[in-house]
Chain A
């Protein structure tokens, strides 16, 4: 029953897309389309979370390739991801009811938005390689169309080209991975792949590499992340939220589905690429985020960091699973899925906040914002909540998943392999480093954009955003708080998936007194977010009360003290660039070869002094520039064949023919 409802709702979403084309010229179109998307997403969410037996539901249709058909399946993992996708989808649709009204060309967005939602849902339900890839392409292309919605901007056009290239590359990698999985028999349905005998070790290694390329490029794994900070900010903010908060999770679903389910029992070395790449991704992502001044780009880089954390947790789960350590594997897997859920909440919220700021001021550059806490107090509060959550600070939800990952790392000395014994501590340090850098990054983002004094007239005249947007953001923050204070229920929701995919799970958390969470045993570690939160609230009120009784209540307003040098101008405030300077100098030196240039004219010269920052993107310079150069070179060489004489062309055809015949003759 839930699967039928789900598939009908997805069909309806496609219909809404068509409706979007028909209505596009109408003034109320955006409300209708987004309202319908909201309703359908809620239905899909309910269908995913409604309690049912653990048996997977399946359906197949005579669509697609004639000898396969289209198979769909709803099991514990797809139900979990379906819930995430549609929660994000519902929030984005609700937000867009208000936000979409500001869109100048709704006809470029309305048809694609519901299709994008439908594509993501279909990827998660697909149960054969063909349906999976078709849905994957649906998702990629519709989101590409949404990225290109504002194509008058040259930067967005560049983002579109890079995204399209990387997306096609990713799909090609997945196509080959499925080809290898299906083998020469060609059983492309997931059930056939599961039943097939698993190939030799090199073959599964190759599949793992291809999946890392395919799903990793969609998720934003370094060094395949380059499209992400270009494309996510280019889209309208509610789409950015969906791409960052939800679409990257669909990519992670693809990784889990293939590596944990289809590829068979893991070997220990499978865990090393995700662990290493995840740690590098987390570090590089957050360092890049720290030096960005474009708010949406900053958020996109921070998405890359969070993907890194998820991949580290998945790598740990693989390592434990391969060594038959069921309980730690369950813990790491739970941590990964918990973080996936958390990130989908607070990243959507952050993008909504950035969109609200963009609408109110027309600015994405934090260096031209400031003081928004006075003009947009509600948005500021909600954005602050998301900043706390993403910085992995208790008592909000980001901390819980990070804490679970650390608990999993603490169990890894019992892994027998030496390579893992040496790798895991380094990964743990990278994780701790990225978590603390993340706090610095979001202090900077919030502090420069929302605190201080307005740096431009646009920021000064900002107005609070509409109620639709505010309600979507409040809902997400409420969920962040709930997941942070009572994580036990969410963990218990993940338990069946952990049981099915890694063979172990955390102890049931629901019955533990005081709603604590206990990953292994109470003597090892436990955490109670609710109690800590209540203590903090109680202590804060207690302190305020005591101060009120013992001390003075008087307060007055005056000019800022500033050590006796009050400065009425706003330019003397700390800027985002100056805030990031210490990090740029210490860690950025290594990561980006960052250099500060100060050009100071000699005394008497009236030229202004100039300050510049030089940043190198090592991934772009080291990986993509050589590839582009090689492609250019090959194209240049092949270009010569365009200018041959007729004899030359005939000779070419003859040579090819001979070469092919030789191949056939020599082939055993």
Chain B
């Protein structure tokens, strides 16, 4: 019985992230439009887009290889697994121990690896430019993420997200290194999801684009799966920030149904706040030049390194 209950909680989490991801995207777009005094599309528009794309025919480039055709599913699967491993409404789920925060970071690295290769498969210059830039951003964003993981893990004494969330819940305190890690993580999240000011998710046909350039050759169901993966990645980062820095409401391991429902409600509220802040941030800044991005990410890396050094020097920071 307990096993079935655990399994059900784990599956609920997988389905929850999958179904919430497009909603977060739609919500962010709506808020952004409202803040710009436009009406904006319905918050359910991303679901309709996905369904529309899925029903369309796929047009493959003449020289697209098997890698190009299988990449969308691999990208989606790895992102989904990573997103489902971040505690959303409850900690200590059945398979939460199978991967820690470093593994989740690295899984996103695998996703990026496949995506960058898919961008280069057809051999257009747009795909290459996207892949090249994505790998440059990643070469700074990933170590920045690792240093942030170091900070958090050194505070909580664990790299397991469930344990970290539990530690944060039981030791509510203000620390310098928390602040450094939070700012760093937000910068990494913005860069990894290609949001303003690093990349503009709404542009096409622009030489500055990164993510959209890599997926330019995709169409139909392949594009739908990739878009869903991108939405999942955004949700993953919002859940990650919520889980580490605002773990309130998370149901502990083995909690009853009521605690879980409360946790889910708290989670939805946290995601909504995250989406609102993201939209607000995006309308208040302009996109930066590509070669300014390394400075932006370098700041995150330095913040993470500073936080790690502080933790190494003394446990009280």
Contacts and interface: CB of A to CB of B under 8 A. Distances in A.
Interface of A: 370-371, 373-374, 377, 384, 388, 391-394, 399, 403, 406-407, 409-410, 412-413, 421-422, 424-426, 428-429, 432-433, 435-437, 439-440, 442-444, 446-448, 451-453, 514, 516, 522-528, 531-532, 535-544, 547, 550-552, 554-563, 566-567, 570, 572-574, 578-583, 585-587
Interface in B119-160: 120-129, 131-133, 135-136, 138-143, 146-147, 150, 153-154, 157-160
Contacts of A543: 73, 76-77, 80, 225
Nearest to A526: B97
B109 A439 contact: yes
B77 A539 contact: yes
Give the contact-size bracket for chain B. Answer: 35 or more
A550 B54 contact: yes
Contact of B55 (A373, A428, A552, A582): A552
Q: Do most interface residues of chain A lie in helix, strand or loop, or is the interface mixed?
A: helix
Contact of A428 (B128, B139, B291, B308): B308
Nearest to A373: B65
22 contacts: A373-B66, A406-B102, A406-B146, A428-B150, A429-B147, A433-B143, A436-B139, A436-B143, A443-B116, A447-B120, A453-B123, A524-B160, A524-B163, A525-B100, A532-B81, A547-B224, A552-B55, A562-B124, A563-B205, A573-B123, A573-B124, A574-B129
Nearest to B128: A574
A448 B219 CA distance: 23
Contacts of B236: none
A440 B109 contact: no
A514 B127 CA distance: 40
Interface in B57-113: 57-67, 73-74, 76-78, 80-81, 95, 97-100, 102-103, 106-107, 109-110, 112-113
B294 interface: yes
Interface stretch (B241-249, B277-285, B309-317): B309-317
B220 interface: yes
B16 interface: no
A582 B205 CA distance: 20
B217 interface: yes
The 10 closest A-B pairs by CB, nearest first: A574-B128, A452-B123, A551-B54, A440-B135, A582-B136, A539-B77, A447-B120, A432-B143, A436-B142, A540-B77
B77 A447 contact: no
A544 B97 contact: no
Contacts of B131: 443, 447, 574, 579
Nearest to B160: A525
Contacts, number: 291
B123 A526 contact: no
A536 B78 contact: yes
Contacts of B143: 429, 432-433, 435-436
Contacts of B63: 371, 374, 453, 560
Nearest to A442: B113
B121 A452 contact: yes
Given A424-B312, A443-B131, 9 more contacts: A410-B150, A410-B153, A429-B301, A532-B103, A551-B54, A555-B60, A560-B61, A561-B217, A562-B125
A424 to B, nearest CB: 7
A335 to B, nearest CB: 13
Nearest to A530: B98
Nearest to A407: B159
A555 B59 contact: yes
Given A373-B67, A429-B301, A388 B59 contact: no
Nearest to B206: A563
Contacts of B221: 547, 551-552
Interface string B173-212: 0000000000000000000000000000000110000000
B259 interface: no
A356 B224 CA distance: 37
Contacts of A578: 128, 132
A528 B67 contact: no
Contacts of B139: 433, 436-437, 439-440, 583, 587
Nearest to B144: A432
B305 interface: yes
B117 interface: yes
B43 interface: no
Contacts of B62: 557-560
A436 B138 contact: yes
A397 to B, nearest CB: 13
Contacts of A552: 54-58, 220-221
Nearest to A430: B143
B125 A573 contact: yes
B301 A410 contact: no
Interface in B221-279: 221, 224-225
Contacts of B123: 370-371, 451-453, 560, 570, 573
Contact of B110 (A370, A388, A407, A429): A388
In this complex, the member of B139, B204, B225 whose beta carbon has the largest number of chain A beta carbons within 10 angstroms is B139
A384 B311 CA distance: 39
B216 interface: yes
A148 to B, nearest CB: 37
A97 B58 CA distance: 44
Interface of B: 51, 54-67, 73-74, 76-78, 80-81, 95, 97-100, 102-103, 106-107, 109-110, 112-113, 116-117, 120-129, 131-133, 135-136, 138-143, 146-147, 150, 153-154, 157-160, 163, 204-205, 216-217, 219-221, 224-225, 290-291, 294, 301, 304-305, 308-309, 311-313, 315
Contact of A560 (B51, B100, B113, B122): B122
B247 to A, nearest CB: 16
B124 A527 contact: no
Given A428-B150, A532-B99, A583-B139, A525 B159 contact: yes
B153 A527 contact: no
In this complex, the member of A399, A535, A572 whose beta carbon has the largest number of chain B beta carbons within 10 angstroms is A535
B269 to A, nearest CB: 27
Contacts of A544: 73
Contacts of B216: 561-563
Nearest to B57: A554
Contacts of B113: 388, 391, 393, 439, 442-443
B107 A394 contact: yes
Given A432-B142, A556-B60, A574-B128, A551 B116 contact: no
Given A531-B95, A562-B124, A585-B291, A393 B54 contact: no
Contact of A572 (B125, B147, B217): B125
Contacts of A447: 116-117, 120-121, 128, 131
B312 A413 contact: yes
A381 to B, nearest CB: 9
A539 B116 contact: no
Given A429-B147, A527-B103, A555-B220, A393 B110 contact: yes
A533 to B, nearest CB: 10
Contact of B135 (A407, A443, A566): A443
B133 to A, nearest CB: 6
A579 B130 CA distance: 10
Contact of A557 (B60, B135, B301, B305): B60
A559 B57 CA distance: 15
A422 B106 contact: no
Contacts of A426: 305
Nearest to B53: A551
B297 to A, nearest CB: 10
Contact of B150 (A394, A425, A443, A585): A425
Contact of B98 (A421, A528, A555, A579): A528
Nearest to A575: B128
Contacts of A392: 106, 109
Contact of B124 (A428, A446, A538, A560): A560
A396 to B, nearest CB: 9
A440 B77 contact: no
Contacts of A421: 312-313
